[in-house]
Structure 1
Amino acid sequence: MSATGVGTADRELRDLLLSHIHDVPDYPKPGVVFKDITPLLADATAFGVLTDTFAGMCERLGATKVVGLEARGFILGAPAAVRAGLGFVPVRKAGKLPGATLAQAYELEYGTAEIEMHADAVGPGDRVLVIDDVLATGGTAEAALQLIRRAGAEVAGVAVLMELGFLAGRERLAEGLDRAPLEALITL
């Protein structure tokens, strides 16, 4: 560990990932700088390193299932789950899953949204790691944690590629994580 508390391997991983994430100014609206991860996904080496990193988190945290949040959480979480030998559970926007579901509404900047998970996807005895691309305000992740607990499972943690620290999502999730870690590979 260096004097800054960030190990060389962590810096190398961060640098590799950042070199494959492109800024797109004024998307989806003026003043927003969108973090485009499609170049990262298109590079087999970088995407493989990211997948291995998330799979390692699954193993280190004792996860038995991975939840991916719609939509980029599916892209990142599914290969990590496979690599770790675990099942994958999609958490989707309301109305997208067939069969019995659990739903959770959450607040957006201007209104509300709702996500769903199959009612039998996780349950007692499961330790669930939530994976997504970006932690912004934390609303979607917070709703996912509530769904997981309502299903009777335990939250192993939340892992994200990027955390937008200035939006305070970490603070919003602090109570819901209840000692489970929130790990961001890059904090901006």
Structure 2
Amino acid sequence: MSTEYEKKISELEKKIKHFPNFPKEGILFWDIFSAISDGAACKLLQGLLIETIKTKFPQAEAVVGLESRGFLFSFSVAAELGIGCLPVRKKGKLPGDVISYKYDLEYGSDTLEIQKDSIKPGLKCVIVDDLIATGGSLNAAIQLLTNCGADVVGCLIIMELESLKGRKNISTDVPIHSLIKYD
């Protein structure tokens, strides 16, 4: 990517605030809402997401937004690209027939779902989310979409917490692109 692209990333990064000990002691929370509350930063982020998909994942036919902040970005990006927008949500949040994928967390389990009729076999999807930490929800989303017959061509993450090594918990070779990486 170009120097101009890197300059835009740097501008966005300056707008993201962090909060120590939230939501509990020992956690450093990186808050994307602090950036998107600023109109210029919001537009900048949208442009970066669109530019990245066009460059890295031009074959994408749908943008899949992960609950909950991922689908804040997926609709406007998909609309600008003229492709579909599909939400992946937690269990019980989508109406109609759904396909589920249950996955384990450090302390328990969770389930992601997608509406059954939203995925056509071979649909080329790019997953968009705000953060990759331990990689559990991203891996589950990839597995869910793959089980539905979709072709996950890539994942676009706004922020990655590299010290948590979330990429190691992704069980496929789907390309992952993070705009910003924190240690």
1:79 corresponds to: 76
Identify which of 55, 59, 74 aligns with 2:54.
59
The aligned runs of 1:100-119 (5 Å cut-off) are 100-119=97-116
Displaced runs of 4 or more, over 6 A: none
Counterpart Cα distance in 1 of 2:127 and 2:181: 17
Matched residue type, 1:140: S
Q: CA deviation at 1:35?
A: 0.8
Contact 1:51 1:83 (8 Å CA) reproduced: no
Counterpart Cα distance in 2 of 1:56 and 1:103: 31
Counterpart Cα distance in 2 of 1:83 and 1:37: 21
Contact 1:120 1:151 (8 Å CA) reproduced: no
Does structure 1 residue 44 correspond to structure 2 residue 32? Answer: no
Identify which of 168, 185, 188 aligns with 2:179.
185
Matched residue type, 1:58: I
2:9 corresponds to: 14
Q: CA deviation at 1:146?
A: 0.9
RMSD: 1.4
Counterpart Cα distance in 2 of 1:146 and 1:53: 26
Deviations 1:26-83 (A, max 9, x none): 1100111111111211122221121122122333311000110101001122211111
SS in 2 for 1:120: helix
Does structure 1 residue 171 correspond to structure 2 residue 165? Answer: no
Q: Percent identity?
A: 37
Q: CA deviation at 1:165?
A: 0.7
2:155 corresponds to: 158
Contact 2:64 2:128 (8 Å CA) reproduced: yes
Counterpart Cα distance in 1 of 2:104 and 2:135: 10
SS in 2 for 1:29: coil
Counterpart Cα distance in 1 of 2:40 and 2:154: 26
Identify which of 135, 138, 141 aligns with 1:138.
135
SS in 1 for 2:73: helix
Does structure 1 residue 28 correspond to structure 2 residue 19? Answer: no
Contact 2:8 2:48 (8 Å CA) reproduced: no
Contact 1:56 1:84 (8 Å CA) reproduced: no
1:3 corresponds to: none
SS in 1 for 2:87: strand
- Aligned residue pairs, count: 180
Matched residue type, 1:155: V
Counterpart Cα distance in 1 of 2:4 and 2:169: 29
SS in 2 for 1:115: strand
Counterpart Cα distance in 1 of 2:64 and 2:47: 16
TM-score by length of 2: 0.92
Contact 1:52 1:83 (8 Å CA) reproduced: no
TM-score by length of 1: 0.90
Deviations 1:95-140 (A, max 9, x none): 1111111111111111111110011112223100000000011111
